[in-house]
Each structure stands twice: as structure tokens, then as C-alpha cells.
Amino acid sequence: MVSTSPDSSAETGGGAPNAAAGGAAAKPVTYFDGITNRRHEVALAFGRALEISEHGAAVASWAYDDLRAADGGQDTLRLKCTSGPPLARLEVPAPQVQAEIRARARFLHVERETGAQTRRIVAWSVAAIASIVAIVVFGIPLAAARLVPLVPLSFERRLGDMVDNRVQQIFRGKICTGAKGNAAFAKLIKTLAQAGHLNMALRAAVLASPVPNAFALPGGKIYLLNGLLQKANSVDEIAGVIAHEMGHVAHRDQTRMVIQNGGTSFLIGLLLGDITGSAAIIFATRSVLAASYSREAEAGADAFAISTMHALGRSPAPMGDLLFRITGAQGGRTIGILASHPLTEDRRALMRREDRPATGPEILSAEEWRALKAVCRP
Amino acid sequence: MNEATLLQPLPGRSARVAFTGKRRDFFRLVRRGALLELITAGFYRFWLSTDIRRILWSGTTIDGHPAEYTGTGKELLIGFLFALAILAPIYLVYFLIGIELERARAFASIPLILFFYAFGQFAIFRARRYRATRTVWRGVRFWMSGSGWAYSWRACLWSLLALVTVGLALPWRESALERYKMRHLHYGDLPGRFDGAGWALFKRGFWLWLLCVCFVAAFAAIARVRSHPGLLFLPVLVFLVGGLFVYCAYKAIVWRWWLSGICFGEVWFHSDLRAGALMRLYWATVGWIALVVLADVVMIALVILIAALTPLFGGHFTAAGMVLFARQHFYLLLGANLANYLVLALCVGVLARVYLVHGVWGRVVVSATAHNLDRADDVRARGDLVSALGEGFADGLDVAGF
């Protein structure tokens, strides 16, 4: 029941007549005091403040400037008061009374999200995105480069063992056992490691796989696949590739990659959260970033291979030829920003520029080279 | 007075729950929200989900008084940032332990994923606790006691049992977990309770389980007989369509069972949701998505056609010409595809929210009637607000649940 309350402030209330929302007896104003959920049917009076009374007794007095609209139903105006109990609510169903309140309460909708607030959220978000992009593009590679020397070698070896476990399972029983070939391979590794000043215990093996590839694991494990060995025409071709893999070991590229990729995944994946369909975007971003980190690392390993071959008085050019023989020209076939390696033709051109006449002895004798090539033959 | 009323000394006041939310308003909200999410790379999600909840809560009227959601987007953001700070070292430790285990044996680190499952369950409990404390009805808030970890291990064990029994234990899992959650939920000084029995859900949903088993068995049999993959198109279609029907029915059954099990003190709810009540909403979503995709395909075809006919692109409408064009303008095509994908994803997101969030909510809550409401007429306020950390974990771990 809305009724007129005794007018105590009609002449001071800015000329506002004391409000009587007559004819709304069917729609009582309900007050909840925030202490219990008991329904209080109250009367309102518009004095200096909004006076709320129940059966003639004052219940609360809410300053107009403290009135705020709370979420309510369709037609009911639900009020709260910033200076009152946090959950005290006033439910006003009658439109006339609502109009009276709206006329007095200046800050009724101040909590509603305004355009300015939205713009502020957008601006901060854009700033956050810019900061994340900067961290991912500049910060993480820098941090990874600084962190890698701090990672103990023993940890790197553990990381390598972990991967090695999986490699061993995939290539079970495919480690080539030719005794003479393995001896030649060990000599090759030893010579290259000495020339590259790589002072760590290296372990290496040839795997009987037709894939033309070679790879290094963290902690100094190098695998050469027979497919690559069979495509090679000379020791220098294979030596260059092995030296390249040693470059990865020396630069501790995998450890750096783990830190980098872990960091970017965490940042991009967690911060961007669940925007609809973001999974594909996250995947794309990560692939591009990982590829770009990887191309840098590959270029570094190539530089290592070139200097090692020079130190031995051999030319790095044959390695470039071997790579080109395997992949062919890549320009126009691969997508630049997604490639993990620099284009083969660029790598070959670089190695040809570094071509110098041989001043050192052959790394392996002709006989040793033949034995190495046959290392996977039973 | 007849005998029936005499037998009930307290004929409690009953009221059907009403929903006043309008689809058009909600559509506008989520359309704007989706655009803002796009611009802010997802950061706007905290404010959007707050707005969605505010609309759903305040549209839900019980006994003439709409509920109110008092959470804010800022709280969710802060909760998320705290969760991030806690999750970062956990991810690191997870990584290091993973290395040690893998070193010992290849693939030995897989069980570690279970930890994140448990953590996700913890997050689900804590997220519900946040939402409860931000829910106000008649000037009194809900609140929750209980422990997230206690809930988490229960959830893990029940999930394991459900897995072992090929889903047959699922009703009992739902019932036990809901009992735990509701037991610790309070409305002021009125304690919550869940009365839904696993057996009741089992009886209602058993035919769906059987149907699923038949589906899978039939599909496997067909897949074996017809070796050509092209011939599998029809069975796959039947499988998908049937699967959606089963899913709709399952959802409706679970909702009904859940609502009918809720009690606060002597107030109890009852739902009369039919098993087919949600079909239209789900099929409307599928239909709209199909329409959007179709429109997209037509648009792409038109663009290609126009590009092929204009002299700008050489006017050669040959496969080789198109490949050449694609190679020369790789970044242009990549950008166009990405933009197209994003628009499509946003449309699907908006549709899903309109039909599957707003639509399902509206359909489900109005199926409920609250009984004995006069026993909730003088409830004292109790309980304090909790932080949104749980919501942050749920966000960071990508788990959904309620």
C-alpha cells in the first residue's frame, strides 16, 4: 500500500509536493531491509530524502543522491542505497511513483555501463594486447636467451633423455650396428666436436630410417637417419649436416625453444581465453611464432657449421648442395612465415659464398666413408 | 473446507517461477558483446558474462520478486589475474615433474593430466560458490560452505566409476555430487538440500543410454560392412541427427530431475519439463548455423566468380590461374580467410548464446514451481562474499560447469 505520509518537509523539499501515488493500492511498495528477507509493505514520502515508513513508523531515510537502480524485473523499479545496508532493496512497481523517484535521484543509473566505460575497457584491453605482443615478440626470446645459460647442463641432459626415451621407442631395433661404420661415425663426431670446441660428452647413432634427416636432442645426442646418409656423395656433405646439428647442441637451442614455446603458449593460451573460436587463432599465432624462433635457431646452427668446416680446412658448400638435392628449390612452394627453416636455396647460396679451397685433410678416408655408408647394412 | 485441506495443516504457498527476459534484448547484448570480445581479443568476456548473468537472474521471478546478480566484470578480471599468478608456477612444476617421469619411462607423464582434471573440479565448485554469493533474492544472498578439494576428490572417484561402468553410474555420480554442492549451499539461514536420487534419474534416462549403445553398435557394424568411406555418409548423418535428439532429451531429463530435487529448508521445487521441451531450441541453433554457413559458402563462391570475371585478376578462370593468384596474393587470402572465419565463429557464438543459454534458461526455469514458500518469508541474512578466484581457475583451465 502506498499512502501519503505526514508531510514534514513539504516547504523545504525544493517545492516538491509530498508524493502520494494514489490509486496504486494493488501494487504496494516493498522494502527489504537486508537483514531478513521479510516483506515490508511501506509508504514513501519525498522529503529532503526518500523517507520510508511502515505503519507510520520510520524505517529508513535514503538520500536521493545515494539512490541507485538495481537489476529488477521488467516493470518494477528496484532501488538500493549506497549509504544503507548493501542488500537493502526497495521495489517500486507503480509507474507514477517511479517517475517521482526518477525526477529526484540524479545518480540512479550511474552504475550502468556507459559508453565511456566500455571505451575504457577496450582501451585497456588493447594496451594489454600490445604489451603481450611485445612480450611474446621481444621479451620472451630475450628472457630465454638470458635464462638458457642458467639452466644446468644436467637438466638439459634430463630433457634430452626424456625425448630420447620416445625416440628409442619409435625407432626400436633400428639403431645401425655396423662396427666399422660406427667407428668411422665416432671419428667424424670426434673430429667435428674438437673443431667446434664443443666440450661435452656427445652421443650419436645412425638410425635405419629412409627419411633424409638428422636431428639433435638437448644434452648432446645426435641422430643421423640412413636416408640422408644414402643421399650424400661425400664426407663433407654429411660432416656439414652433423656440424649443423652440433650447432644446435652448442647453442642449446632446444632448451631455449622449450622456454620460448612454453612461455608463448602460456601467455597466448591463457590470456586470450575462450573467445569464440579462438582455438584456431591461437594455433595459427603459435605456429607462426614457433617457426620464426626456429628459423633464427637454424640460421645460427648454419653459422656454426660453416665456422666448424672452416676450422677443419674444409668447405661448407657441399652441405648446401646436399640439402638442395633433398628439398629442391622451395621458393613459391613453402609459405615463408610458416617455414621452420630458412629456404634451402638461400642456405645453399650462403654456403657457396663461404666456399674455400680445401686446406685440411679429408675428415674420413675413402675406406672409412664406404664403411659409414654401409653402417645400416646387416 | 474439504478433507484434503484438513489433512494438510500447512497448505504452503506455491508459485510458478516466471521468466521475463526478452530474446531480442538478449540478442542485442550478446551481439554487442561478441564484437567487443573480438576487438579486445577476449578480455571483454568478464563483462559480457556478467551482463548475461544479470539479465538471466533479473529475468527470473520467484513469488513475484526477481532475483538479482550482484557480481561485476572487474571482480571476474581480478579473480582471473590471481588464478593466472597461481597457475603459472603450477604449470612449471607440472612440466618439470613431467620431464622426470618421461625420463623414467616414455609416456609415463600422462597420468599427470588427472591432476588438472581434479583441479578443474575444484574450480567448478569454487566458481559456483562465487556465483551463489552474488545471487540475491528479496534482499538476502545465497552463500556456500564446504571445501573445493573435498568436492574435487569425490568428483574424481565418481567420474572413474562412471567411466568403468560405461556411463551406467552417471546418475549416481550426478546425484552424489549435487547433494554435496546443495548441502553446502544456503539461502540466508535456510540450508539447501538435494533430494534427487540417482535411481530416479537412472529410470528416466536408461532408455537414452540404451539408445546410445544401439547407435554405436549399429554404426560400428555398418562401418565394418561398407568399406567405402563415401557410403558412410548416410549412417553418419543418421548418427548425428539421432545423437542430437538423444542429447536434447537427456538435457531435459537432467534439468527436470535437478530442479525437482532442490530444497531450501522446507521450501521445495518441482519441475514438469517434458523430455522434448528443448528440441526446438537445439534444432533452431543447428538450423541457423547451417543457414549462416550456407550463406557464407554462397558469398565465397560469388567473390571467386566476380574475381574470375573481372580483368583485374587476368580474367583467366582456370585452375592454374587461381593457384597462381593464390600464390601471388598469399597474405591477402590468408587475411580474408581469417576474417571470414572470425565472423563465422562470432555468428555461431551469438546463436549459441541466444538459443542455448537464454533460450534454454527461459524454458527450464518456467517449468519449475516453488512450494511451501511461506517457509521462506522470514529468512535471516548470513554468509559472506567470496572472491572470484574459482571463476578465474575455471577460465584458466578451460573448464565449464555449474
Question: Residue B251: what pLDDT?
Answer: 93
Give contacts of A 148-207 with B, CB under 8 A. 158-159, 161-162, 165-166, 168-169
User: How many other CB atoms are there within 10 angstroms of residue B234's CB atom?
Assistant: 11
Distance from CA of A153 to the nearest CA of B (A): 14
pLDDT tens per residue, range B260-278: 999 999 999 999 999 999 9
Tell me if A284 is assigned to some domain: yes
Residue B297 has pLDDT above 90, yes or no: yes
The answer to whether residue A133 neighbours chain B at the CB level (below 8 Å) is: no
What pLDDT, in 10s, does the model give residues A115-157?
888 899 899 988 988 888 888 888 888 888 888 888 888 888 8
Angle formed at CA B115 by CA B114 and CA B118, multiple of 5 degrees:
90
Same domain, A328 and A249: yes
Residue with cell 536434447: B248
Residue A149: which domain range?
126-373
pLDDT band at A175 (very low <50, low <70, confident <90, very high): confident
Residues A367 and A262 in one domain: yes
- The pLDDT score that the predictor gives to residue A15 is 36
| Residue A90 lies inside a defined structural domain of this protein | yes
CA B139, CA A39: separation in Å to the nearest integer? 10
CB contact under 8 A, B57 and A71: yes
- The reply to whether residue B105 touches residue A165, judged by beta carbons under 8 angstroms, is yes
d(CA B251, CA B275) in angstroms, rounded, equals 8
**Residue A7, pLDDT above cutoff 70:** no
Q: What is the mean pLDDT of residues B248-255?
A: 94
Which of A112, A139, A158 is the endpoint of a domain? A112
β A203-207/A221-225 pair status: parallel
Our count of domains for chain A comes to 2
At B43, which amino acid appears?
A: F
CA distance A332 to chain B (A): 7
Mean pLDDT across chain B, nearest whole number?
Answer: 86
| Residue B280 near residue B346, CB atoms below 8 Å | no
A91 CA: distance to closest CA in chain B (Å): 9
8 Å CB contact of B61 and A73:
yes
CATH of the domain at A46: 2.30.29
* Amino acid letter, B382: R
**Residue B341 pLDDT greater than 60, yes or no:** yes
Same domain, A73 and A193: no
CA gyration radius for chain A? 38
Cα–Cα nearest to A258, from A163, A374, A373, A154: A163
Partner residue facing A274 (CB), from B84, B107, B398: B398
Instruction: Check residue A12 and give its pLDDT.
Output: 34
In a domain, residue A233? The reply is yes
Pair (A85, A136) in one structural domain: no
Q: Are residues A93 and A188 in the same domain?
A: no
Nearest to A335 among B39, B137, B330 (CB): B330
B369-384 average pLDDT score? 90
Binary contact (A277, B341; C-beta < 8 A):
yes
Helix, strand, coil percent values for chain B (each to nearest 5): 70, 10, 20
Find the closest chain B residue to A170 by CA distance: B106
Residue of A70, A118, A165 with shortest CB distance to B103:
A165
DSSP β-bridge partners for residue A70: A78
**Domain for residue A316, yes or no?**
yes
B270: helix, strand or coil: strand
| Pairwise CA distance, residues A255 & A260, whole Å | 9
Amino acid letter for position A113: E
Strand B262-264 and strand B267-271: pairing? antiparallel
Residue among B84, B88, B188 whose CB faces A37 most closely? B188
In terms of CA atoms, which chain A residue is nearest residue B346? A276
Select the residue of B41, B65, B338 nearest A275 (Cβ to Cβ): B41
Min Cα separation B263/chain A (Å): 17
Q: What is the pLDDT of residues A190-227, one digit of tens each?
A: 999 998 888 888 888 899 888 888 888 888 888 998 98
Q: Do both A354 and A268 map to the same domain?
A: yes
**A263 pLDDT exceeds 60?**
yes
CB A304 within 8 A of CB A244: yes
Q: Are residues A137 and A252 in the same domain?
A: yes
Chain A positions touching B66 (Cβ under 8 A) are 71-73, 76, 78
**Cα distances (Å, whole numbers) of residue A101 to A75, B19, B58, B286, B378:** 14, 26, 21, 46, 28
Residue A119 lies in a domain: no
pLDDT of residue A18: 40
Q: Which of B34, B69, B88 sits opposite A266 (nearest CB)?
A: B88
Contact A165 B346 (CB under 8 A): no
Q: What is the CA radius of gyration of chain B?
A: 26
Q: Is the CB of B348 less than 8 angstroms away from the CB of A71?
A: no
pLDDT over threshold 60, residue B31: yes
Amino acid letter, residue A333: R
Q: Which of B40, B346, B380 sits opposite A122 (nearest CB)?
A: B40
A277 touches chain B (CB under 8 A): yes
Q: Does A98 touch chain B (CB under 8 A)?
A: no
**B311-339 average pLDDT score:** 70
Q: Is B68 in Cβ contact with A270 (below 8 Å)?
A: no
Segment A56-63 shows an average pLDDT of 92
Query: What confidence score (pLDDT) does residue A9 get?
Result: 39
Predicted local distance difference test score (pLDDT) of residue A286 = 66
State what percent of residues in chain B have pLDDT above 90. 54
Position A335 in a domain: yes
- For residues A184 and B166, give the distance between their C-alpha atoms in angstroms, rounded to a whole number: 57
Which member of B40, B58, B106 has the closest CB to residue A71? B58
Lowest-confidence range among A58-67, A161-170, B205-214?
A161-170
Q: Provide φ and ψ at B194, rounded to 5°.
A: -125, 125
Q: What is the structure's pLDDT at A10?
A: 36
Cβ–Cβ contact A126 with B under 8 A:
yes
**Contacts A169 to B, Cβ<8 Å:** 106
| B58 pLDDT more than 90 | yes
Rounded CA separation B283/B294 (Å): 16
pLDDT of residue A209: 86
Residue B145 has pLDDT above 70, yes or no: yes
Provide the pLDDT for residue B315.
56
The per-residue pLDDT for B303 is 84
In a domain, A121, yes or no: no
Of B90 and A48, more confident: A48
Same domain, A86 and A193: no
pLDDT tens for each residue of B350-376? 999 999 999 999 999 999 999 999 988
User: What is the nearest CA distance from B90 to chain A, expressed in angstroms?
Assistant: 12
Q: Is the dihedral of CA A263, A267, A273, A278 positive or negative?
A: negative
The pLDDT, as a whole number, for residue A292 is 73
Under the banding of pLDDT at 50, 70 and 90, the label for residue B2 is very low
Q: What is the DSSP letter of A107?
A: T
Residue A79 has a pLDDT of 94
Whether residue A91 is found in the same domain as residue A137: no
Phi, psi of A29 (to 5 degrees): -80, 130
Q: Taking CB atoms and an 8 Å limit, are B327 and A275 in contact across chains?
A: no
pLDDT digits (tens, 9 = 90+) for A328-345: 776 655 555 566 778 888
Residues of A in contact with B136 (CB under 8 A): 87, 89
Instruction: Please name which of B167, B150, B182, B345 lies closest in space to residue B264, comparing C-alpha atoms.
Output: B182
Q: Do A134 and A104 lie in a common domain?
A: no
Same domain flag for A168 and A80? no
How close B140 gets to chain A, by Cα (Å)? Answer: 6
Look at residue B140 and tell me whether its pLDDT is greater than 80.
yes
- Residues in B closer than 8 angstroms to A158, CB to CB, are 99-100, 103
**Which of A77, A261, A275, A281 is best to mutate for the B interface (most B CBs within 10 A)?**
A275
CB contact under 8 A, B43 and A125: yes
- Check CB contact of A330 with chain B, cutoff 8 Å: no
| Longest distance between any two alpha carbons in chain A, whole Å | 117
Mutation for testing the B interface, residue in A29, A36, A282 having most B CBs under 10 Å: A36
| Cell numbers for A315 | 668447405
pLDDT greater than 90 at residue A110: no
Q: Give residue B390's pLDDT.
A: 84
Answer yes or no: do A142 and A78 share one domain: no
Residue at which a domain ends, from A112, A147, A172: A112
Q: Assess if residue A270 is contained within a domain.
A: yes
How many angstroms separate the CA atoms of B274 and B272, rounded? 6
Q: How far apart are CA B168 and CA B162, in angstroms?
A: 6
d(CA B86, CA B96): 16
Compare all CA atoms of chain A with the CA of B21 and give the residue at the minimum distance.
A74
Nearest C-alpha neighbor of B267 from the set B150, B137, B133, B167? B137
Q: Which residue in A79, A110, A121 has the most chain B C-beta atoms within 10 A of its own C-beta, making it the best mutation to test that interface?
A: A121
Domain boundary among A51, A80, A112: A112
Give residue A174's pLDDT band: very low, low, confident or very high (50, 70, 90): confident
Distance from CA of B217 to the nearest CA of A (A): 32
Task: Say yes or no: A99 contacts chain B, CB-CB below 8 A.
Answer: no
